[in-house]
Amino acid sequence: MATPDKFLLIAMTMSPFDLNLRHLRAIPLIARRGSMSAAADAATLSQPALTQGLAKIERQLGLPLFDRRPDGMTATPSGHAFVERIDAAFDHLAVGARAFARGTRGFARPEALMTATQLRAFLALADAGSFADAGRATGWSQPALHRAVRDLEHLGALPLVERRGRGVALTRAGRALARGIRLAAGELAAGIAETRPDASLSGRLAIGAMPLSRALLLPTAIAALVREAPGAAIEVVEGSWRELVEPLRDGVIDIMVGALRPEVPHGLAQAPLFEDRLVVVARAGHPLAHVGDPTPDQLAGFPWIIGAAESPLRAHWEALFAGMAVRAPIACGSVMTIRGILADSDCLTLLSPDQIAMEVATGVLTTIGAPRREMTRLIGITTRAGTRPTRLLSRCIELLGDASFRKSDID
C-alpha cells in the first residue's frame, strides 16, 4: 500500500482514465453484494481477475476501499464515497451514450463496453479538433487515435466525428458522448481527490467568471481558497453567461459566478449571493456628471453601450427606456472594453459600482446619479443540477458566501 507521502505524488499525476473501467464498474457490485464471488458473477468476471483488479485500483488510490472479513467484504468510509462517485460517473456516461446507441447495428448499452483508452482518445480529439493536435496532446500516434475512435464508433454504429478541412467536428452523437465522458471523468477525479488519506482540500476546480464577479467577489474568495488549499489547481475561465453555460453543462467548468437568470435554465441550479444595484456610468466631465437625478429623457439624449440580448443588464436598460427611442450603437459584454469607450466618449452605460470602483477612485469615470432602486439583479452561483460538490468546490462556495456577506456589510 502506498504511504501518504507517496500518495500525494500519485494523486497529482493520476488521471481518471488510468483506472480500469471494467474493474471500476464491479466495485459498486462488491459493496452491494458484500462478496467478491457474487460481484464477479454479476460483472461476468472471474473472481481472480476481479481480486487482482480491485487490488490494483486500491494501490493506485493508495488506500483500501473494503475491509476483508471471513463473512464477506464491507466498504470502508472512503470506499462508500468512491462507490457514489463511480455510480455517478457511469450514469453520466450512460446518458451521453443514449444518443450514440441509436445505430441499427450498435450495441444496446455501448457504455458497458467502452474502455478507458477509447474514452481518453475521443476526448482528446474532441478537445483538440484534429487527430494531429490530439496526437501532440496525448503523445499517441495518429493511427492509434484513429483506431481507438473507430472502435468506439463501432459500439454505437454511429459516426462521432466528421471531417472539416484538416480537422474534425463532432456530430450530434459525438457532442452528447463527449459531455458524458467529461462529466464521468469529473466524478472519478473527484473520487480520487476525496480518497486522500489526509482529507485535505485538493483536486482541480474550474470557475466560470462573469463580468461582475471578476471585480471584487471572486478574487477575494479565490485568494482565501489558495491560502487554505495550496495544493489545489484552480482555473478561472472568463466569459459572458452565454459563453460559459455550455462549458458548465459539459463539465469543462464546475461553477459559474455572476448575474443569475430570472428563470433557472433546464439542468442547472442557481443560488443567490447578494443583490446588486446598477448605476449609470460615464466619463469624468460628462455633461450629465453634475446632474443629481437625471430623467429618462436626459439620459436618452446620449448614446448608450448596452448588454447582450436577453441578459439581465439588457432587460434593465430596456425597462428604463420603455417606449422611448434611444440610440444604442454599441452592444458589448466586456467591461474592460466598455471602460475604454466610456473614457473617450459621451456614451453612457449601466454597470455595478464594483465594476468601475478603481476608475471612479482615479477620476477616469464617474457615476451619474445614485444607484437606481428599480434596477437590481441577483448575483450568485450556477451549477449543474444534482451536482455533488467536492470538498474543494464546497469550500469555494462557502468563501464566496463569506465575501458576499462582507460586501453587504460594506455597502
CA angle 105, 108, 111 (to 5 degrees): 110
Which residues are within 8 A (CB) of 143 and not within 5 positions of it... i.e. 6 or more apart? Answer: none
- Residue 11: pLDDT band (50, 70, 90) is very low
Residues 346 and 358: their CA atoms lie apart, in Å, by: 19
Which residues are within 8 A (CB) of 401 and not within 5 positions of it... i.e. 6 or more apart? Answer: 273
Residues 222 and 74: their CA atoms lie apart, in Å, by: 39
User: Which residue bears the cell 454505437?
Assistant: 156
- Residue 98: pLDDT band (50, 70, 90) is confident
Q: Say yes or no: domain 4-192 is CATH 3.40.50.720.
A: no
Report the pLDDT value the prediction gives residue 126, as an integer from 0 to 100.
Answer: 94
- Residue 2: pLDDT band (50, 70, 90) is very low
- CB 199: neighbour CB atoms within 10 A? 10
Q: What is the mean pLDDT of residues 358-373?
A: 89
> 332-365 as b/e, with b when 16 or more CB fall inside 10 Å?
ebebeebbebbeeeebbbbbbbbbbeebbeeeeb
CA 330 vs. chain centroid, Å, equals 30
Which residues are within 8 A (CB) of 279 and not within 5 positions of it... i.e. 6 or more apart? Answer: 350, 351, 352, 353, 367, 368, 369, 370, 371, 372
Domain made up of 279-374: CATH architecture: 3-Layer(aba) Sandwich (3.40)
362 has pLDDT over 90: yes
Q: What is the mean pLDDT of residues 186-206?
A: 82
Report the pLDDT value the prediction gives residue 6, as an integer from 0 to 100.
Answer: 42
Q: What is the mean pLDDT of residues 319-337?
A: 91
Residues 133 and 141: their CA atoms lie apart, in Å, by: 11
Residues 344 and 284: their CA atoms lie apart, in Å, by: 10
263 has pLDDT over 80: yes
- Residue 406: pLDDT band (50, 70, 90) is low
Rounded to whole angstroms, what are the CA distances from 291 to 299, 305, 367?
Answer: 10, 20, 10
- Residue 302: pLDDT band (50, 70, 90) is very high
Do the Cβ atoms of 272 and 228 come closer than 8 Å?
no
Residues 124 and 6: their CA atoms lie apart, in Å, by: 28
208 has pLDDT over 80: yes
Percentage of the chain beyond pLDDT 90 is 66
Look up the CATH superfamily of 200-275+378-410.
Periplasmic binding protein-like II (3.40.190.10)
- Residue 323: pLDDT band (50, 70, 90) is confident
CA angle 396, 397, 401 (to 5 degrees): 115
Which residues are within 8 A (CB) of 99 and not within 5 positions of it... i.e. 6 or more apart? Answer: 172, 173, 176, 177
Do the Cβ atoms of 375 and 350 come closer than 8 Å?
yes
Encode pLDDT of 16-45 as tens digits: 999 999 999 999 999 999 999 999 999 999
Report the pLDDT value the prediction gives residue 13, as an integer from 0 to 100.
Answer: 58
Q: What is the mean pLDDT of residues 301-310?
A: 91
The DSSP H or E segment spanning 52 is helix 47-61
Residues of the chain with CATH 3.40.190.10: 200-275+378-410, 279-374
Residues of the chain with CATH 1.10.10.10: 4-192
Q: To the nearest 10°, report the CA torsion of 237, 243, 248, 253.
A: -10
- Residue 373: pLDDT band (50, 70, 90) is confident
The whole-model pTM stands at 0.81
405 has pLDDT over 80: no
Percentage of the chain beyond pLDDT 70 is 93
Residues 377 and 279: their CA atoms lie apart, in Å, by: 12
DSSP 123-186: HHHHHHSSHHHHHHHH---HHHHHHHHHHHHHHHTS-SEEEETTEEEE-HHHHHHHHHHHHHHH
Report the pLDDT value the prediction gives residue 411, as an integer from 0 to 100.
Answer: 52
Long-range contacts of 159-162 (CB under 8 A, 24+ apart): 160/100, 160/122, 161/125
Which residues are within 8 A (CB) of 372 and not within 5 positions of it... i.e. 6 or more apart? Answer: 277, 278, 279, 280, 320
Secondary structure letter of residue 50 according to DSSP: H
Strands 279-283 and 365-368: antiparallel
